[in-house]
Amino acid sequence: DQQVKQNSPSLSVQEGRISILNCDYTNSMFDYFLWYKKYPAEGPTFLISISSIKDKNEDGRFTVFLNKSAKHLSLHIVPSQPGDSAVYFCAARADAGNMLTFGGGTRLMVKP
Amino acid sequence: EPEVTQTPSHQVTQMGQEVILRCVPISNHLYFYWYRQILGQKVEFLVSFYNNEISEKSEIFDDQFSVERPDGSNFTLKIRSTKLEDSAMYFCASRGQNYGYTFGSGTRLTVV
């Protein structure tokens, strides 16, 4: 069941540049999307989210874009910092109180 | 910042034994979840719990699994008779009325 897919298992970016992490979904019932960051041996840490009624949400260096017609969302990190190196998961939810469906994650490496 | 606390951080158990994984959700949260991540795989939903009952569960959450909120603060996941394939990181999460899911740091379960 691949309802949420992150097609790039890894991404390497130079410090100060933009990191763009992509996520595609198939379930049109998803109405809320989240991005999580995960370090080894830790739980996922919430980064930013977006409701399906919006196409953009921004929080500091992090911006999430949602293209509903393409069933695609992306996370932009600018400028990227070495401390951003982690695995990033996108997740989606179909309605209030329900489970999150996670993508497979993208490992971001930000090089100094 | 409020945290979801999980204990133990690492549990080693023999196949066929029962294990109980413990979680203390954020105190004013109403929705509780268990997820797991087998090494190298996606974070997978197991079960959600609201108003003292299971609200949704996945196919993974079979009769070997049970959840309980025995005292209004702890939220436990019991695996009745562990199998080798139950080895994974188990994450507890909680959520309030808004959409903010907070995850714990996880319990690494190793079944030998």
Q: What is the pLDDT of residues A7-42, one digit of tens each?
A: 999 999 999 999 999 999 999 999 999 999 999 888
What is the C-alpha to C-alpha distance for residues A87 and A108, in angstroms, rounded to an integer?
A: 6
Are B56 and A103 in contact (CB < 8 Å)?
no
Q: Where are the domains of chain B?
A: 17-94
Structural fold of domain B17-94:
Immunoglobulin-like (2.60.40)
> B36 Cβ partners below 8 Å, 6+ apart?
B43, B44, B46, B60, B88, B89, B90, B91
Question: Cα distance from A79 to chain B (closest Cα, Å)?
Answer: 25
What is the C-alpha to C-alpha distance for residues B64 and B83, in angstroms, rounded to an integer?
A: 10
Residues of A in contact with B100 (CB under 8 A): 46, 49
Residue B101, pLDDT above cutoff 60:
yes
Q: Is A57 on the interface with B (CB under 8 A)?
A: no
- Delineate the domains of chain A, giving CATH numbers in brackets: 4-94+104-111 (2.60.40.10)
| Arithmetic mean of pLDDT over chain A | 94
B2 neighbors B100 (Cβ within 8 angstroms):
no
The residue-averaged pLDDT of B94-103 equals: 83
pLDDT tens by residue, A47-104: 999 999 999 999 999 999 999 999 999 999 999 999 999 999 999 998 765 789 999 9
**pLDDT (0 to 100) of residue B93:** 95
Residues of A in contact with B48 (CB under 8 A): 97-99
| CA nearest neighbour of A89 among A27, A29, A22, A25 | A22
pLDDT tens by residue, B18-57: 999 999 999 889 899 999 999 988 999 999 999 889 999 9
Amino acid at B13: T
